Each structure stands twice: as C-alpha cells, then as structure tokens.
Amino acid sequence: MTPAERDDVASLVAALVRIESENPPGNEGEVARFVHGWFADRDVDAELLQEPYPDRPQVAARVGSGDPTVVLNGHLDVVPAGDPDAWTHSPYAGERVDGRVVGRGSADMKGGLAIGMLAARRLAAELDSGDGTVVFHGAVGEETGDPGTKALLEAGYDGDYGVVLEPTDFRVATSAKGLVCYEIGVTGESSHASRPDQGENAILAARPVLDAIEAYDRRLRHRVDPLVGSAYANVTHFEAGVGGNLGVLPGEASLVLDRRVLPGESIAEVEREVAALLDDVRSSEGVETTFEEVQRYEPAAVPVDCEVAETFRELTRTRRGDVEAPWGIEAATDVRNLVNDAGMEAITWGPGRLAQAHTVDESVAIDDVAVGLAILLDGVRSLLESGA
C-alpha cells in the first residue's frame, strides 16, 4: 500500500469518527447520509433505508453481479463518549496521534466500517458481470441489540458469506457469545423513614434477589464453551428511591440482570432459569418480583473449518503470522443475524483491538486498518473466485 493509499484509509476513519453517532439515543442519521453520499460520489450503487426506524436511516450498497455474494457488515452507531473532559483528545475530533486515529468509535468500529467501504469501492471497479457480488452494510443499533442488520438482510442485502468487521485484532471468530438482559422489579412498601416498621424497604427486599443472582453466576461459570469461555450472570444496573424524598423508604426497586449466553444455549432456556430463580426467592424469602426482557443478542456459531474462516486465517497468517485458531469472541455481535436469520457462513474479524472498545481515549492503529483493508480485499476476491 502506497503512502497516499494509507493516508486515504486514515482520512476516511477520521472523517467517520468526527461524525457523532451515539446510541443511545440513536444518532446514526448523519453518518448514514455521509456513507451514502461517499458511495454516490464514487458511482457506487447505494441505498438509504428507513427500516426498521424511519428516523434512523441505515445504508447498504451492492457491487458486481452473480454468485456468490459476500456481505461486509459494519455498524454506524457508537456508545456514548461520556465526559469529554476525561479524554486526552476530544472524542469527536478524529485526531491522528502517534500513528493512530483517536476518538469514540475509532476501534469499535469505524475502522472496520471504513475498510468495508473502501473494499466495496475497489471491487466495484474490478468485478465484471457474473464475477460475483459484494454487499456492504452500514447498520444501525448494534450497540443496543436493535434489528438494524436483520432489517438489511430482510431487504435483500444478504449473501452466501459474511464478514462482520468488528475489532478482533485480526483473529477469526467462528463463534460469538450472546446475551439477554432482564429488568427485574422488586416490590416493597413505601413508608416514612422515621417509621420504617410501617413499610418494607425495597432496597433491603432486593438483597435475596442479588444473593440468588450471585449464586446463579457461580454455577454458570462451570458452563464453558471451548471458544468463547464461560457463561455469566451479572447485575449491571440498580435503581431505587431516585428522585424521591430523602426521608422515604422506597416501595419499589429495579435492577438489570445481564446474562451471557453460550453457543448451544437458547434464550428460551435462559428465561426459564431466571423465572425459576425468582420463584425460589419468592417461596423462600417472600419477595415479590417481576421481570421482562429488555435486550437480546442470540449466540451464533459456524464450523471452525468453514471456507470463509479458513480463507481469512490463511491470509491473516501470511500478512501477520500470528493468527489464533480456532477462536470465538466473548462479545455479542451482529454476526448472529447473518448466521441465525440468513443462514450465512459468517465470521467476526477486523482491525483494531476489542480492549479499546468503549474506553476513554479509544484509538485504532492506522497501519492495522491499512493491513486490514489489504487482507479484506484478498479474502473477498478469494471467496468470489472459489464460489464462481
């Protein structure tokens, strides 16, 4: 790759970072329009889609024609940057510092989004009619489990092979852990804090629920998948008495249970486990609870020796020589939609380190993104040639 081409890669990543696309609340619109316009300026056929959310457009592009079809999946949203004063560099300046692009989303995953865009543009100029098809996804809502990628697939932007361009440091993930979150309500009885025996403090009533979840987590850690590790159950949010008078015992409390789901487990089974756990707390401690699902990502897996995985392992090994195989990603990704909903052979793979995701001073190495583009181009070419 020439210095000018490397600079093009870095410039595109920086331009994407400079467009704030936080989710929540779901600010993907501006970056979706940027991506759509970028393709249009380069005579690449792209579409802005209003599904599943009319006020949160997403973008898809298609180049080439014929079989097979390779899907390059990226998401437009980033997690909130938080307090900008905590950052050494402004989270949305897209600055280049010591060979890296710094900013929210640089690793997760505007570096991956950029190489998907650049690969689609390059391949548009290479593919003759019938040589195969490349589809690009710029999806909404990945960070909150929204059905952006699913809607793109249902709109016809599906394929035979898929690469979800998350930051895996070039490791090829053939499995992805899922998750499901439940909001659990705990019922007490409100009373004045000077007369606590008249009521029941919902915060204290929640204690056996928290204890039961902790015991559940200890049991789950013995369930281990060889690629993605252990199942977990954690409380990630607790709220009671917020906004009320400081002298009032809260009559209600709520918490969020985050359950990490292994390939081979079903979310229906997990729901039954959580319901049984809360039934046990009610029968043993008399604590009344409610629960409802608020977020889900199903787990997904493809054979470790499938064609797309072997192709990217070999190309990455040739370029870098440090491929870990086989491997699974502990985080949940939109690969679940490609595998489970569209029946595709798909992996999670991309430049950047997952440890950078969601952090203050998030960054991605420009050299890694440039190498990622080269590997991605060769990988897609190989898949198109082998499937022709």
Which residue type sits at 157?
Answer: Y
What is 3-176+299-387's CATH number, 3.20.20.110, 3.10.105.10, 2.60.120.200, 3.40.630.10?
Answer: 3.40.630.10
Helix axes 307-320, 366-387, angle to 10 degrees: 140
Torsion angle of the four alpha carbons 289, 290, 294, 295, in this order, in degrees rounded to the nearest 10: 60
What is 178-297's CATH number, 3.40.50.620, 3.20.20.140, 3.30.70.360, 3.40.50.300?
Answer: 3.30.70.360
Strands 161-164 and 327-329: unpaired
Contact 167, 356 (CB under 8 A): yes
Closest by Cα among 38, 98, 42 to 74: 38
Tens digits of residue pLDDT in 261-278? 999 999 999 999 999 999
CATH topology of 3-176+299-387 equal to that of 178-297? no
3-state secondary structure (DSSP) of residue 61: strand
Cβ neighbours, 10 Å, residue 215:
12
**Which residues 6+ apart lie within 8 Å of 347 measured at CB?**
162, 163, 164, 172, 173, 174, 302, 308, 309, 312, 335
- DSSP class of residue 344 equals -
Closest by Cα among 112, 86, 167 to 360: 86
Distances (CA, A) of 374 to 6, 116, 122: 11, 11, 11
- Most distant pair of Cα atoms in the chain: their distance: 80
Report the C-alpha gap between 124 and 39 in whole angstroms.
11
Closest by Cα among 187, 176, 182 to 299: 176
> How confident is the model at residue 93, as a pLDDT?
97
Distances (CA, A) of 305 to 69, 126, 294, 346: 19, 28, 35, 12
> How confident is the model at residue 386, as a pLDDT?
86
Residues of the chain with pLDDT under 50: none
**Cα angle for residues 196, 200, 203 (degrees, 5° grid):** 105
Tens digits of residue pLDDT in 277-306? 999 999 999 999 999 999 999 999 999 999
Distances (CA, A) of 4 to 10, 122, 255: 10, 15, 51
Q: Hey, where are the domains in the chain?
A: 3-176+299-387, 178-297
> How confident is the model at residue 243, as a pLDDT?
76
